[in-house]
Amino acid sequence: MLLSIKSMNNYSIEAKDGGIGHVYTFLFDDRQWTVRYMVVDTGNWLPGRKVLIAPESIGKPQGEVQIFPIELTRQQIKDSPDIDTERPVSRQMEIELHRYYDWTPYWGRPFGPIAMPYAPPAAAIESGRTAQQAVAEPGQGLRSTREVLGYDVQAVDGRIGSVDDFIVNVQEWLVRYIVVDTRKWLTGRKVIIPPDWVTDIDWASSEVRVDVAADTVRDSPEFEPQAAVNREYEIRLYDYYGRPRYWM
């Protein structure tokens, strides 16, 4: 099932024993384009607090009533580690959260000693930082979908628009497409581009760079936000660009 991030914003979140709030944003891994957490605004229930929920605790969305059920209780969520979602989420914070909920670490290794839960990045070794420092540092590549909306999208030969939305497979929690609003370049037109074609994201300049030419994008199959992204549309899209299909 492919759903847009914008369509999921403000979905209500229902724990096993009652509501806890609504979807605020999602945190995704900018290297593998995988949604790692749903960020839930707990509203009046826990004023001023936002909590992270991993996909393994999220049930099938109920689109007709705009609800996400989760396999947790209100008490579990209330007693969970309080994480400042306005700051980068460090691996140390993730470890605490996964231990508390008994979630499977997505970074691929058992927890082990707190000082060495995963292999430190090569950059950390080259810079002389210890494994412990690498673990404690923020910025493990998790980005907020809310943050990236509005980023400029640069083709190989010029700007083509801005990030308007994301299309996510909510069974696998993979970002399948970036929705690009080209209205400042092509009046009233939106297109979608798979994240596999992204060559770089420059966080400092708020730019997403893609490996396509502007003229190619100009004539690509138009995206209609009100219409579902189905396999027929995906076949037309990939055939137009002459790129390998992700499902084959």
The CATH number for 174's domain is: 3.90.50.10
Task: Quickly tell me which residue has 């024993």 as its tokens.
Answer: 17
Q: Are strands 34-41 and 50-53 parallel, antiparallel or unpaired?
A: antiparallel
Q: What is the pLDDT of residues 164-185, one digit of tens each?
A: 999 999 999 999 999 999 988 8
Domain C-terminal end among 143, 159, 179: 143
DSSP single-letter state for residue 121:
P
Stretch 188-210: mean pLDDT, rounded? 93
pLDDT of residue 117: 34
Same domain flag for 114 and 166: no
Q: What is the pLDDT of residues 29-55, one digit of tens each?
A: 988 999 999 999 999 999 999 999 999
Is there a domain that residue 78 lies in? yes
Is residue 132 predicted with pLDDT exceeding 50?
A: no
Same domain flag for 129 and 176: no
Is residue 116 predicted with pLDDT exceeding 70?
A: no
Tell me the C-alpha distance between 121 and 131, whole Å: 9
Same domain flag for 18 and 108: yes
Alpha carbon distances (Å) from 175 to 26, 63, 171, 201, 244: 11, 19, 11, 15, 17
Spatial contact of 25 and 144, defined as CB atoms under 8 Å apart: yes
pLDDT tier, 114 (very low <50, low <70, confident <90, very high otherwise):
very low
Is residue 215 predicted with pLDDT exceeding 70?
A: yes
Per the model's pLDDT, the better-predicted residue between 134 and 185 turns out to be 185
Is there a domain that residue 247 lies in? no
Domain C-terminal end among 88, 113, 143: 143
Same domain flag for 189 and 230: yes
Is residue 113 predicted with pLDDT exceeding 80?
A: no
**Domain CATH number, residue 13:** 2.30.30.240
Stretch 66-81: mean pLDDT, rounded? 97
Same domain flag for 102 and 26: yes
Total domain count, the chain: 2
Per the model's pLDDT, the better-predicted residue between 247 and 185 turns out to be 247
Same domain flag for 52 and 120: yes
Q: In the chain, helix, strand, coil percent, each to 5?
A: 25, 30, 45
3-class secondary structure, 126? helix
